[in-house]
Structure 1
Amino acid sequence: MTLNRREALTTAALGTSLIAVPGVKAQRTPAPPPARGYDNQRIPDLGDGRFLNPLMAGDHPDPTILKDGRDYYMTFSTFDSYPGLVIWHSRDLVNWRPLTAALTRNIGSVWAPELCKHKGRYYLYIPTKNPTTSWVIWADRIEGPWSDPIDLKLPNHIDPGHAVGEDGTRWLFLSGGDRIRLAPDGLSTVGAPEHVYDPWRYPDSWDVEGFSPEGPKVLRHGEYYYLITAVGGTAGPPTGHMVIAARSRSIDGPWEHHPGNPLVRTTSLDEKWWSRGHASLVEAPDGSWWSVYHGYENGFWTLGRQTLLDPIEWTADGWFRMKGGDLSQPMKKPGGGQAVRHGQALSDDFATLAYGTKWNFFRPGPDERRRARVENGTLLLDARGKAPSDSAPLLLIAGDPGYRFECDIEVAPGGTAGLILFYDDKLYCGLGFDEKRFVTHQYGIERGRPANPHGRRMRLRVVNDRHIVSFHTSGDDGATWTRFDRGMEVSGYHHNVRGGFLMLRPGIYSAGQGTARFRDFRFAAL
């Protein structure tokens, strides 16, 4: 049975799966409902000994995971959002909570980092674009403080993966099958990059974005080093991105291709998760083994690449295989480990400012932090620029297909502020106001400016119900609401239209003059 594209998208949006029975028309059966946590957000732990992907909903791409005794730490690409590289903590691989943002200084767009620990010290190897290079920061405690970034001067590679050779030498494996040696302290490189591995190639008939060997992760297990790599491109056709593996008895090679390559690949538009790849392997508290990687949710490129958890099995011939199938159904949780409550509330009373772990500036300047502060349950955000495009808005990661958010907003004379759904500075939508007029944002431009009957203070609400967006206003603190006469459809606000590998994020902005005041921010998944 096959679906056309529209049917596949509709099936995923409705949360259903299809069952084919010979001689009987295919029927839709409900997929398991997700569990719910803070603000009704979906969470992986179903509470009955099972979990349902995504492991980390919303934009959590290029996961890098570290097992450190009984603790697990994980972080992700954060691109132009700062503070960046939020480190999450778990004891059971399923439930996670944010600890800290390790990177506070804007060093460029952060891609596919590597978190590791060597001789008691934690390291983050960080590739960036604009400029294209790789950096390292370190800390003696995972909570920080983390060091200032050190430029490793690697202009032609991305996605460093840390490895330690059998003789104790340290290496970074890089995109394209290359590697470079690290100094013993891990804070500089030795020599030049060298090519050591020719990745497995898929058939020419497959629909992919490009070869793009990237995301190398090296694991030493038993007699072998295992090199896990992504090929096929990160986005583009849903069938492109995939996981391949090779092994060697020495860090120096030669590398033998896994006979089952590719180990993970989306093969049909019917599947729940598209473009799956960029995998790491990790051992659970009960001794079982798992893989974390990312994928796009069918029909929801706008949510970015979400982190997925897939069980693996070591086979008698010394290889491993993935066991989770298309990851659309619940699976038994790994055993052992004490669970922490998953996620964090996105609603905010602004008693404190969760700067970095919740709120992030988009492409901030060196002094951006000074713009935001809290006083008496109010977020004060100094104006910058003329619109969201140049105002460095404050943004959240929301991982549900449908949600609403609202806030009480007060603008200063000459100021403009509002609520937005923001992909990047060229593609966003939302509603703002000054003391006399509303301003609508659509396609990354400012459009209508109807009269504002509420003056300098009102409550705004944005509803994003599976890409159908509506705006609502209230002049009496939310007692009554008026639907704003402008609706939008935002399913195209994503990477395959705009590039950048980002997600459509809810947020707030303050532009023009003075300081905008935000109170009682409320978020609820639908």
Structure 2
Amino acid sequence: MRLPTASLAALLLAGSAHGADNPAASARFERFSYAGQTQERARPQPGEFVNPVLAGYYPDPSIVRAGDDYYMVASSFTNFPGLPVMHSKDLVTWTQVGNALDRPGQIDFTGVRGSQGIFAPDISYHDGRYYIITTCASCPGGVGNFIVTATNPAGPWSKPVTVQGLNGIDPSIFRDGEKMYVVHNDAPEGTPRYDGHRAIWITELDPASLQRIGKPKVLVDGGVDPKKNPIWIEAPHIFRKDGWYYLICAEGGTADNHSEVVFRSKDVMGPYVPGPVNPILTQRDLDPQRPNPVTTAGHAKFVQTQNGEWWAAFLATRPYPGNFYNIGRDTFLLPVTWKDGWPMILEQGKPIPYTHAKPNLPAQPAPAVPMNGDFAYVDEFDGPLSPGWMGLRTPRASVYDLKGGALVLHAGQPLGDLAGVPGFIGRRQQHHDATVSTVVDYAPQHDGDRAGLLAMQNDGAWMFLGLARVDGKRVVALYKSEGGKETLLGTAPAPDGRVELAMEMRGGQSAYRYRNGKDKGGQLKTLKTGVDVTFLSTQKAKGFVGVVVGPYVQANVVKQAAK
């Protein structure tokens, strides 16, 4: 796979203690393979597309059109590079072209937990320049809400400009002629009346300094029906159509009661009146026992095509039985219909379809690596890493090198050390039914040294399969960490030299296999099967991210150096 990115090899950095005199601190990976199948098995007819359009951990989508091109961004929390930027010409065929946060000097995630960091970005376009405004939750230095800009969505993007005094989350930018506004979620005026009581605010911005001017104003207090104590009004976006200003927001929280609602006004500063039919998107009223459900739908943004059609990008989830999902929240696409001046994404009581007629846009060729449906890819590590690779927290020294068709990965700080960066790079798990494999060459020197595949939901929830030193012996080992407690689930004598490793994820169950790396046609040996991995689900691990899986190395010498 050769999807180039801007010097990613110089970007994933860690405070590590690797070196030629420390063989345990580096491991060699020859390739990375991924193959996934959708559990819903949707079969589109000619002229249809498959939902979700971005499978797996791509939550909180924001979309913009610039001429005939469409760009989308999603939340990335403490993964780095962060703020993935996607491109499409037909709204259904997407390719990642870069990351808006791809340099250590832009952001600092030191001390930041996995589901903090970058929340709910919004992308907009004006007069040849792209803007992303987002929140850095719990980031050091008081970064808060900030804006980055670029003339090319693939990058480079500017250093963040913090919008001073702008609190809350989920900011978005609205342009009204030459005026620029930020609309966002924050606490209501006065004392909140109940848990989850929030408000939507608007403030004018200076287009030159990107700082607030004028007095902030509340547009919506609580939600559609304040008498019912609505919770977590958030993710606001304003757009103008036919002389009206429309405000769309998420309401109900990010779990099964998630929804999208709409208001409108004749003045950008309000007052805003709820639509006659709300919500305009939700799945909360459907039978939870329905097969292959789509749940937690909301957090939408609209885009109008060059042909006049309106479409909504929004997040939703596809749980496996038991209402668990390990892969995070997907990005879906549906048309927006208009009736009597009000928009509707999907009438209440209707399930989100897995297939739908395509937008009236020129058909595009299939991408080298699809972002939805059934797909597989292999990265041979024979060229620059694609922008889909990412690590955890902000790097400081090189965590890997690409040498002779292999990835040489260097140990960082142990998982759970929020002040450090682990020796890890990974890709999103995009299917509940997925197989991931690699070939690793590693010589552990001390008990606790290990290198192999890591499937991580957060610092305290992960599965590891690889070469390790246990009781003085080099073995194939399987570890899990649940709630931050590490457990060794099994070992087997390791073959000499290179070892092929395979993780097989099947919803809430998984299997772990291995074989001699030289024996390409040999049968994989089973180390452990039927392992319960529901603890990697959002419902148990908590937070907002999905599983990221990829090469990992940990060396005791690095742990000792950190003390």
Q: Tell me the TM-score range normalised by the shorter chain.
A: 0.7 to 0.9
Determine whether 1:440 maps to 2:478: yes
Residues 39-48 or 245-254, more deviating: 39-48
Aligned residue among 380, 391, 415 for 1:361 = 391
Contact 1:471/1:487 (CA < 8 Å) preserved in 2? Answer: no
What does 1:224-239 correspond to in 2, within 5 Å?
224-235=244-255, 238=256
> Which has the larger displacement, 105-114 or 242-251?
105-114
In the aligned structure 1, how far is the partner of 2:490 from the partner of 2:42?
42
> Measured at CA, do residues 179 and 392 of structure 1 come closer, stay the same or move farther in structure 2, by a change above 3 Å?
farther
Q: Specify the code of the residue in structure 2 equivalent to 1:118.
A: H
Identity of aligned residues (%): 26
The change in CA–CA distance for 1:192 and 1:331 in structure 2 (over 3 A counts) is same
Cα distance, 1:191 vs. partner? 5.0
2:314 match: secondary structure = strand
Which residue identity lines up with residue 506 of structure 1 in the other structure?
A: V
2:181 maps to amino acid: W
Root mean square deviation of aligned Cα? 2.6
Give the structure 2 partner of residue 396 of structure 1.
427
Residue 247 to residue 199, structure 1, CA distance change in 2 (3 Å) = farther
Report the Cα distance in structure 1 between the residues aligned to 2:523 and 2:82, rounded to whole angstroms: 38
Of 433, 452, 455, the residue aligned with 1:418 is 452
Matched residue pairs, number?
A: 467
- Report the Cα distance in structure 2 between the residues aligned to 1:205 and 1:252, rounded to whole angstroms: 24
Letter in 2 for 1:63: P
Between the aligned partners of 2:210 and 2:554, the Cα distance in structure 1 is 40
Q: Does 1:383 align with 2:414?
A: no
Q: Are 2:452 and 2:464, in contact at CA under 8 Å, matched by a contact in 1?
A: yes
Over 3 Å counting, the alpha-carbon distance change for 1:133 and 1:346 in structure 2 is: farther
Q: Does the 8 A contact of 2:435 with 2:503 survive in 1?
A: yes
Q: Deviations over 1:235-288 (max 9, x none)?
A: 2xx2x1100010112211111111101111111214521111001111234322
Q: Can you give the 5+ residue segments of structure 1 that lack an aligned partner in the other structure?
A: 1-37, 516-526
1:348 matched to 2:379: yes
* Equivalent of residue 278 in structure 2, options 242, 258, 261: 261
- Do structure 1's residue 122 and structure 2's residue 156 form an aligned pair? no
Q: What residue number does 2:337 align with?
A: 313
Q: Distance in 1 between matches of 2:414 and 2:333?
A: 42
Deviation at 1:200, TM superposition (A): 3.2
Report the AA paired with residue 84 of structure 1. Answer: G
CA–CA distance in 2 between the matches of 1:328 and 1:338?
A: 21
- In structure 2, the residue corresponding to 1:326 is in which secondary structure? coil
- Paired with 2:203 and 2:542, the residues of 1 have a C-alpha distance of 29
Query: Partner of 1:221 in structure 2?
Result: 241
C-alpha displacement at 1:334, in angstroms?
1.0
Tell me which residue corresponds to 1:522. Answer: none
Q: Is structure 2 residue 401 aligned with structure 1 residue 373?
A: yes
Please state how far the C-alpha of 1:338 moved relative to its aligned partner.
3.7
The range that moved more, 506-515 or 481-490, is 506-515
Higher relative contact order (CA 8 A, sep 6+): 2
Distance 1:186 1:504, change over 3 A: same
1:469 maps to which of 510, 515, 528: 510
Contact in 1 for aligned 2:57/2:546 (Cα 8 Å): yes
Are residues 1:200 and 2:241 paired? no
Shift of 1:349: 0.3
Post-superposition offset of 1:157: 0.7
The separation in 1 between residues aligned to 2:298 and 2:355, in whole angstroms, is 20
Q: 1:248 to 1:44 in 2, by over 3 A?
A: farther
Give me the whole-angstrom Cα distance separating, in 1, the residues matched to 2:399 and 2:326.
Answer: 28
Q: Secondary structure at the match of 1:497?
A: helix
* One-letter amino acid of the counterpart of residue 245, structure 2: Y
Secondary structure of the corresponding residue to residue 77 of structure 1: coil
Q: Once the 2 structures are TM-superposed, how far is the Cα of residue 433 of structure 1 from its aligned partner?
A: 1.8
Query: Do the aligned partners of 1:388 and 1:509 also contact (CA within 8 Å) in 2?
Result: no
1:47 deviates by 6.3
